[in-house]
Structure 1
Amino acid sequence: MFRPAGYYSDSEEDSDYSDYGYGEPKTRSRVNAQPAPKPVESNDDLLYQATTEGNLSEVRRIVEMDRYLLNGCLRHGWPVLLLACNEAQYEIVKFLLEEKRVDVNQQSGLKTALMAACESSRSSDQVLKVVELLLEFGAVINCKDSYGTTPLMSAITNGHTEVVKLMLDQASLEATDNEGLTPLFHAVNNNQPEIVQMLLKAGVITDNVNRRGFTPKQEAEFRAYSEVAALLPNEVDFFNVPREYLNYAFYQDISQGRKESEMPGYYQEIGLLLYGMYSEQHLEVFAKEGINLLQFLTLNDENLKRLGFILPFERKKILYGLLKFHRQPWNRNCLKKFGKDRSLDSYDLLELLSNHLKQLTVMQASLLYIGQMMSPAEIKDDFDQQLVICQNKINQFKQIVSSFNQELEHIDSVTVSSPVLHIDATRTKAERFFLWKQPFLCIIGAITTAKVVHCIFRKLYK
């Protein structure tokens, strides 16, 4: 009988193998073998188990014993508040917020308790109670995790319809995740017709595209979600924003309106203001209605509703931006100035006057805005003295404008028929007058000299 290589024992009893080495090895008994010690559960594991099971008394006992666990991450990655929200354990969440004063906006890797609740796989009724409690304690709705996902997007993805309805008025419906997907795209991709209908009623934009170049309707058709596709509107005609809302191109843009007698609209400033309000995508709305700067700066909630801003969140962004704008104190540095030694041409003067006119437009808008926010009695009581000072300043300004107008008329009276392209600001009024009269005096002098010479010659050769 052959033995495996390297096996030197001739005893069959001592062999651990059967013929040709394919047998099962023999078991060897251990003498005085000790049983393996039972692993001791840590407070982290006990708290995790108690939270997932909804055992409030056990959670209370553990956090009283180890208060570090209130804010620290458990072994499983999340703090206890986020874990309780994800498990939709209402009583535990309430205990942590009310009694232990845990921060409702506590984060773990950019994920908040509200996000964890909206991602929950529990029933929508349980999740809704937890979300209502979080919002009551001041949870921030418009925040994003590392993937750019908002709580609203998570609620849509997991089909929590009532939670979506609860957050609809306060959440941004135009926010995009890292893939460029809005909440409407999330509803379409997860075949949620009821939520799609809710978003459409709220006035969500339907013509934006994702990174594949698809609109929400095209995405629904591509995925063969016929019910969702039927809810979405067909493609609308593309609107080209007029040039006057995009940039300044002609001097008339800063000096007059569509007619010479009208004030400038300063439409170009609206896009810049909307950009500061994170609402630049709505420039088209104001361009379609022909809103000028004065009208834009005096908008209120009712005006925005009439313009088609159905979403309260979008209206609040614009209204808050206008409030911040009007609260800024006016500074005279806003006025354009030129140095005394600089030579000015006619365009410089036009630019200077137009800048002053724009500042007057802004001041007028601020006064109208204050008038909308306050009753006439309050305005009189609070601004009576300021109005007197303002009236005096206006009278002084009128005098300056009058003197400036006289100066322009004088310049016009001493100029030739073609317009003046250059005005030397360094010369005095008398010097400028002499410069304009000098050519005329030279001509008169030449004619007089010629007459005198002619008379002398006639007397000499008579």
Structure 2
Amino acid sequence: MDPSESVTNYRPAGYSDDSDSDDGDFSFEPIKLPVRVITVKERYQSIVIQEKFPEFETIFKEELNSDANFIFDNGWTPLMYTCFHGRPAMADYLLERNADPNAHAESTTPLMLLSMNSFATDDELSYIAGKLMDHGAILNLGDRYGITPLMRAVESGRTGLVKIMLERNANIEMRDRQGWTAMFWAVYNRRAIFVEHLISIGARITEVDRYNRTVLDIAEATDNKGIVLMLEPHFTKQTIQSHHIVCSDPEDWFEYYPGLRSDHKMLYKEEMVNMLYGMNCEHLTSLLLNHGVDLGKLLLLEEKDMIKMGIKLQFERRRMKLGIRSFHLRNWKLKAVAGLYASQNVDFSVLDCLEITGNTLMQVYVLNASVLYVAREFKKLQRQISESDDKYLTEMADTIKKWIYNINKMRKEILEMEKLIKIIQDRSPKPVEPIAPPNPYTAVLSASIIGSVTFGLCYLTYRCVVRSVVGLLRMRVDVPEINAKGNR
């Protein structure tokens, strides 16, 4: 076999020997993938991360138009990115150009982002925090979960940042949505140095959160023996009982009736625990009891009384005022006042009757407090009205009269418009249909007319043809006669 004719020299099946053939041309145009455009936000963030200050100035001037409060598509500002990555020089640059230190995205401010930083040094973060507060940054402010910058700094373990915040009067008793203060955050994150420091500056230790847990409960749950040893001296047996068992329930039917015993006065203190828990103020129970507050006094507390008792935080006083107001405005259910009928029992023991009657007395006690509350608020409103300027009230009355006049005038115009529309509707001709429906009589008449005209035309045509043919025949007959005469 000739080597030139070996199998390896034969082309594969399907290919042509012709050099002009394009059988082997399997070339395709490459698929063009969309080119991803890097956004201004991504370029800016990359420059901040790499800490390239010259490029930072360039992008700030050329692409952000020297706007220190430029808002990116995610709601962040340049200062927020700078604080999140902990860049002191860039933060200085932006603050000198009037960057807003309280700009926020979803309730998150630059100071909160700075407190969440985990890779910059303490000195860098402390420097930026000081600059932010020098330019008016609000320190005692919580995000949508109520978490403050101090709580975030405690969580991150930033000693320098916590120190400068406490030096700038950070509120250590502010609470987040679960009722935690900075002390709770320090205990939960096992920050013993912060726990010790907060104790030294007088932080409240025996407070409870929304789930009635103390910081000692949190420390024991996380098995942090060092923090437990620091906290235990502040929790005596009496203190723990005052938080968890404030008042006992009535033990016998005598407890329901004031006056049956000479030394007994019904104060319904056991109901205070439930009320304060509903207001998220159960940590104030011991304070109120120490000032001799019972249920009736609690339902009539005013802000000045709260200040005298030592409730210093304004948001706590406001929370209690709103809770008391909502309690007095609450509707009563039938089962709460119906007494024996609501029980739906067939037979009632003497004890059942005594308990139900005792509950009714408590309802009268609460209703009495509600009547006093309403009367007091009514007097306040009456006093405000009497002390107000008569001229102001007269102007309000004149304004209301003008509103009523304008409303009546608008109503009159609406009625007139309705009448005009009705007249136009009645007088307007009905729309004509573009194509009328077929009529059988019209079709027959049209067919007869067309038939008659066609018949007439055919008849006239026939007459003309017949006359022409007859004329031609006559001419052929007359010609020989003329020629004969001529020949003769």
Amino acid at match of 2:258: Q
Alignment pair present for 1:237 and 2:237: yes
Amino acid at match of 2:142: I
CA offset digits 1:24-54 (Å, max 9, x no partner): xxxxxxxxxxxxxxx9975334312555657
Amino acid at match of 2:83: C
Separation in structure 2 between the aligned mates of residue 40 and residue 331 of structure 1, nearest angstrom:
58
- Larger relative helix fraction: 2
Amino acid at match of 1:321: M
Separation in structure 2 between the aligned mates of residue 186 and residue 84 of structure 1, nearest angstrom:
29
Larger Rg: 2
Unmatched runs of 5 consecutive residues or more in structure 1: 1-38, 223-228, 383-462
CA contact (8 A) 1:187 1:195 kept: no
Separation in structure 2 between the aligned mates of residue 143 and residue 167 of structure 1, nearest angstrom:
22
Separation in structure 2 between the aligned mates of residue 267 and residue 326 of structure 1, nearest angstrom:
19
Q: In the alignment, which residue of structure 2 is the partner of 1:47?
A: 44
Measured after TM superposition, the shift of residue 72 of structure 1 is: 3.0
Separation in structure 2 between the aligned mates of residue 152 and residue 219 of structure 1, nearest angstrom:
23
Q: 1:70 to 1:325 in 2, by over 3 A?
A: same
Separation in structure 1 between the aligned mates of residue 203 and residue 40 of structure 2, nearest angstrom:
47
Alignment pair present for 1:182 and 2:184: yes
Separation in structure 1 between the aligned mates of residue 192 and residue 61 of structure 2, nearest angstrom:
38
**Helix, strand or coil: the match of 1:70?**
coil
Amino acid at match of 1:44: K
Separation in structure 2 between the aligned mates of residue 245 and residue 258 of structure 1, nearest angstrom:
20
Q: How many residues align?
A: 318
**Helix, strand or coil: the match of 2:215?**
coil
Alignment pair present for 1:104 and 2:103: yes
Q: In the alignment, which residue of structure 1 is the partner of 2:393?
A: none
CA offset digits 1:219-263 (Å, max 9, x no partner): 2587xxxxxx5x995542334249673645544555427956976
Q: In the alignment, which residue of structure 2 is the partner of 1:354?
A: 362
Q: In the alignment, which residue of structure 2 is the partner of 1:201?
A: 202
Across the aligned residues of Structure 1 and Structure 2, the Cα RMSD in angstroms comes to: 5.3
Q: 1:177 to 1:362 in 2, by over 3 A?
A: closer
Alignment pair present for 1:72 and 2:36: no
CA contact (8 A) 1:70 1:80 kept: yes
Q: In the alignment, which residue of structure 2 is the partner of 1:429?
A: none
Q: In the alignment, which residue of structure 2 is the partner of 1:63?
A: 64
Q: 1:274 to 1:209 in 2, by over 3 A?
A: same
CA offset digits 1:336-382 (Å, max 9, x no partner): 443998899744444334312321123325555787xx599548769
Q: In the alignment, which residue of structure 1 is the partner of 2:283?
A: 281
Alignment pair present for 1:363 and 2:371: yes
CA contact (8 A) 1:51 1:84 kept: yes
Measured after TM superposition, the shift of residue 195 of structure 1 is: 4.0
CA contact (8 A) 1:142 1:171 kept: no
CA contact (8 A) 2:116 2:152 kept: yes
Q: In the alignment, which residue of structure 1 is the partner of 2:83?
A: 85
CA contact (8 A) 1:115 1:150 kept: yes
**Helix, strand or coil: the match of 1:209?**
helix
CA contact (8 A) 1:51 1:59 kept: no
Q: In the alignment, which residue of structure 2 is the partner of 1:438?
A: none
Q: In the alignment, which residue of structure 2 is the partner of 1:141?
A: 142
CA contact (8 A) 2:183 2:205 kept: no
**Helix, strand or coil: the match of 1:245?**
coil
Amino acid at match of 2:149: P
Separation in structure 2 between the aligned mates of residue 195 and residue 332 of structure 1, nearest angstrom:
48
Separation in structure 2 between the aligned mates of residue 40 and residue 142 of structure 1, nearest angstrom:
33
Higher RCO structure (Cα 8 Å, ≥6 apart) = 1
Q: In the alignment, which residue of structure 2 is the partner of 1:338?
A: 338
**Helix, strand or coil: the match of 1:201?**
coil
CA offset digits 1:143-166 (Å, max 9, x no partner): 549xxx652222232122122344
CA contact (8 A) 1:85 1:114 kept: yes
Higher mean C-alpha deviation, range 52-61 or range 151-160 = 52-61
Separation in structure 2 between the aligned mates of residue 163 and residue 47 of structure 1, nearest angstrom:
29
Alignment pair present for 1:151 and 2:149: yes
Separation in structure 1 between the aligned mates of residue 61 and residue 255 of structure 2, nearest angstrom:
69
Measured after TM superposition, the shift of residue 189 of structure 1 is: 1.8
Amino acid at match of 2:284: H
CA contact (8 A) 2:92 2:131 kept: yes
Q: In the alignment, which residue of structure 2 is the partner of 1:292?
A: 294
Unmatched runs of 5 consecutive residues or more in structure 2: 1-35, 208-213, 389-488
Amino acid at match of 2:237: D
Separation in structure 2 between the aligned mates of residue 131 and residue 330 of structure 1, nearest angstrom:
43
Q: In the alignment, which residue of structure 1 is the partner of 2:14?
A: none
Measured after TM superposition, the shift of residue 182 of structure 1 is: 1.0
Amino acid at match of 1:59: F
Separation in structure 2 between the aligned mates of residue 119 and residue 155 of structure 1, nearest angstrom:
7
Separation in structure 1 between the aligned mates of residue 264 and residue 272 of structure 2, nearest angstrom:
19
Separation in structure 1 between the aligned mates of residue 259 and residue 47 of structure 2, nearest angstrom:
71
Measured after TM superposition, the shift of residue 288 of structure 1 is: 4.8
Measured after TM superposition, the shift of residue 185 of structure 1 is: 2.5
Separation in structure 2 between the aligned mates of residue 176 and residue 324 of structure 1, nearest angstrom:
18
Q: 1:185 to 1:269 in 2, by over 3 A?
A: same
Amino acid at match of 2:321: L
CA offset digits 1:120-169 (Å, max 9, x no partner): 44242421332565744x98426549xxx652222232122122344633
Q: 1:173 to 1:187 in 2, by over 3 A?
A: farther
Q: 1:128 to 1:274 in 2, by over 3 A?
A: farther
Q: 1:367 to 1:185 in 2, by over 3 A?
A: farther
